Amino acid sequence: MEAATVDSLEEWVAFLRLPNVTTQSTADIRANADWIEAEFQRYGYDAQQLADGDTPMVYAAWPDLSPDRKTVLFYAHMDGQPVHPEEWDQESPWSPVLKTAGGDVLPLERLLKGEADPDDRLFARSAADDKAPIIMLLAAMNALQAEGLEPAVNIKILLDSHEEGGPRTLGDVVTRNAGLLAADAIVMLDGPMHISNRPTVVYGHRGGAGFELTVFGARTELHSGHYGNYSPNPAQLLASLLSTFKDDCGRVTVEGFYDGVVFDEETKAAFASVPDDEAAINRRIGIAEADCVGASYQEAINYPSFNIAGIRSADVGASRRTIIPESATAAIGMRTVPATPPQRLLSLARAHIQAQGYHLVDGVPTEEERQTYPRLAYMTKGGGAPALQTPLTAPVGNWIVTSLTETFGEAPVRIPLMGGTVPTSGLRALGAPIMLLPLVNADNNQHAANENMRIGNYYAGVRALHGLMLTPFDDSTEEKDN
């Protein structure tokens, strides 16, 4: 297996050289799809593109699917988050750089020859999220081939092309290809492992509900001397409005926001069993104190959250002007849990804004609206993706836990709900239980500058998938439509 893993490193690096921000270039995404389809075919696997407008997805499979074996559909995504190249400590997010744990740059050859230290890291957009798992799958299958082994499950793979941005068409693609993609279990390879870096299995994820909120002042920017104290400042109004969403400790104060969120004894026990070290987390991310939403990190991410992803109003720094801005905008990203679906949180946010005295408009206010309402705001319609919770007792979970325990000689960390959002809703039409198997280091700077993948995790990920492919899956007690 080691040789197949080392062989795959060149493909990993080559894959990372392909820019993959769907919202910026569909041509880039097609290039990714063409490339990975060809790679799977080159090694003898079935592979084809699944048409989806300008951004095809890719399907691949072990060539001999047997009705005697259960079928597992692995999911990962090819696309990455937008980048701000100037924030990266390297020439380009698309030119992978190998570094030591201390940050010293190493020649890439060291990685490609299989000589990298487990603590070295490869830096590039999507190095971890989510191209590494795709190449790990290829490496694990190649290892089986090299060893002359047949997998204990039928292996299918679906590679999404716009998980990080662009239209969410996964559901349509799945529905159109339901026969091809039919499976007894779905394993999503996305998101980070537990911070302890121990093998991790995740039974669900939070959902998402985002919108943008703009507060309006006067029709145009105004001179702050002539109108300061007179014309309401929309940045000040937005700040005050946003301040009503949370208390000083980070708890959401929107009425009803947490309604229905209760944890049973089994879930509380699972929280307690996760080997979190909050002091270490705080040191790692550089904070003195966490928000006090939950009694622990695990409990915190089992609540819905309200997050300001960005704020913009006029300018700061060298371009600042002595004006009252004409508007101020906040990008809001909420995370949902099964008890608090996206549409409910969006409705609560809307009602909360109105309860603060705002009249909601449909874009830029009309003159009549400006003359009529002292407080004007525009809240975009927003969208959402539901949370997922597979029961902690489900056979599909037991299958993965058993395999990981055998591969690594220790029981994996079992996480009831991960904090991030994974587009499982599009896969639910297949009617198979869904589990998440994160394989990348938690400190990978996912979605941000200097995204990276720890080399030791890459090797361990191939082992995990190789082991899982060789573990028979018995779902005889599985509820199919959970």
Contacting its own copies within 271-290 (CB under 8 A)? 281-283, 285-290
Spatial separation of the C-alpha atoms in residues 96 and 6, rounded to whole Å: 17
DSSP string for 97-148: EEE-TT--EE-HHHHHTT---TT-EEESTTTTTTHHHHHHHHHHHHHHHHHT
* Residue 377: CB minimum distance to its own copies, A: 13
Spatial contact of 236 and 359, defined as CB atoms under 8 Å apart? no
Per-residue x/- mask for its own copies, residues 230 to 249, rule CB under 8 A? xxxx-xx-xxx-xx-xx-x-
Please, which residues bridge with residue 71 across strands?
A: 154
Of the candidate spans 3-11, 102-110, 206-214, 456-464, the one that interacts with its own copies by CB under 8 A turns out to be 206-214
φ, ψ (nearest 5 deg) of residue 333 = -120, 115
- Among the listed ranges 107-115, 138-146, 216-224, 397-405, the one in contact with its own copies (CB under 8 A) is 216-224
Nearer to its own copies, 113 or 219 (CB): 219
DSSP-based three-state secondary structure for 205: strand
* Total number of residues that touch its own copies (CB under 8 A): 99
Buried b / exposed e over 297-331, threshold 16 CB at 10 Å, is bbbbbbbbbbeeeeeebbeeeeeeeebbbbbbbbe
- Tell whether residue 367 is a contact of its own copies (CB under 8 A): yes
Taking the complex as a whole, how short is the minimal distance between the CB of residue 370 and its own copies, in angstroms?
4
* Window 32 to 91, contacts with its own copies (CB under 8 A): 81-82
Among 107-115, 200-208, 390-398, 454-462, which window interacts with its own copies (CB under 8 A)?
A: 200-208
Distance CA 97, CA 84 (A): 17
Alpha-carbon span 162 to 80, nearest angstrom: 8
Distances (CA, A) of 412 to 166, 196, 361, 392: 34, 11, 50, 13
Question: Distance from CA of residue 8 to its chain's centroid?
Answer: 24
Shortest spacing between CB 278 and its own copies, in angstroms: 9
Q: Which of 53, 275, 310, 472 binds its own copies (CB under 8 A)?
A: 310
99 binds its own copies (CB under 8 A): no
Select from 473, 404, 406, 390 the least CA-distant residue to 439. Answer: 404
Paired with 360 in beta bridges are: 377
To the nearest whole angstrom, how small is the minimum distance from the Cβ of residue 356 to its own copies? 9
Q: How far is the CB of 429 from its own copies (least distance, A)?
A: 23
CB of 311 to its own copies, least distance (A): 5
**Residues 323-362: x where in contact with its own copies by CB under 8 A, - otherwise, as a string:** xxx--xxxx-x-x---------------------x-----
CB atoms within 10 A of CB 159: 29
Task: Figure out which of the listed residues 72, 188, 293, 388 binds its own copies, where binding follows CB under 8 A.
Answer: 293
Residue 133 interacts with its own copies (CB under 8 A): yes or no: no
Q: Which residue has the tokens 């537990």?
A: 194
Q: Which of 17, 41, 223, 393 binds its own copies (CB under 8 A)?
A: 223
CB atoms within 10 A of CB 36: 25
Task: Please pick, from the candidates 225, 260, 275, 472, the single residue that binds its own copies as defined by CB under 8 A.
Answer: 225
377: contact with its own copies by CB under 8 A = no
Question: DSSP secondary structure string, 363-421?
Answer: SSPPHHHHHH-SSEEEE---EEE--EE--TT-HHHHHHHHHHHHHHSSPPEEES-BSS-
The rounded Cα 52 to chain-centroid distance in angstroms is: 21
Residue (102 or 374) nearer to its own copies, CB: 374
Regarding 419 and contact with its own copies (CB under 8 A), the answer is yes
DSSP state of 330: E
Per rule CB under 8 A, is residue 472 in the interface with its own copies?
A: no
Q: Is 447 in the site for its own copies (CB under 8 A)?
A: yes
Q: Does 220 bind its own copies (CB under 8 A)?
A: yes
Contact 455, 419 (CB under 8 A): no
Which range touches its own copies (CB under 8 A), out of 101-109, 322-330, 338-346, 457-465? 322-330
The one segment of 29-37, 107-115, 318-326, 472-480 that binds its own copies by CB under 8 A:
318-326
Region 246-275 residues binding its own copies, contact defined as CB under 8 A: 246, 248, 250
Rg (Cα) of the chain, in Å, rounded? 24
Among 1, 7, 23, 171, binds its own copies (CB under 8 A): 23
CA torsion 276→291→260→241, rounded to 10°? Answer: -160
Tokens at 116, concatenated: 């990298």
Closest separation in Å from C-beta 298 to its own copies = 10
* By CB under 8 A, residue 311 contacts its own copies: yes
CB 325 within 8 A of CB 279: no
Closest CA to 448 of 120, 79, 125, 99: 125
- Look up residue 59 and give its two tokens: 């399907």
Q: At closest approach, how far in Å is the CB of 281 from its own copies?
A: 8
> Which residue, 328 or 469, is less far from its own copies as judged by CB?
328
Q: For its own copies, which is the closer residue by CB, 226 or 480?
A: 226
Q: With beta carbons less than 8 A apart as the criterion, state whether 415 and 194 touch.
A: yes
- By beta-carbon proximity to its own copies, the closer residue of 81 and 126 is 81
Contact flags string 160-199 toward its own copies, x per CB under 8 A: -------------------------------xx-------
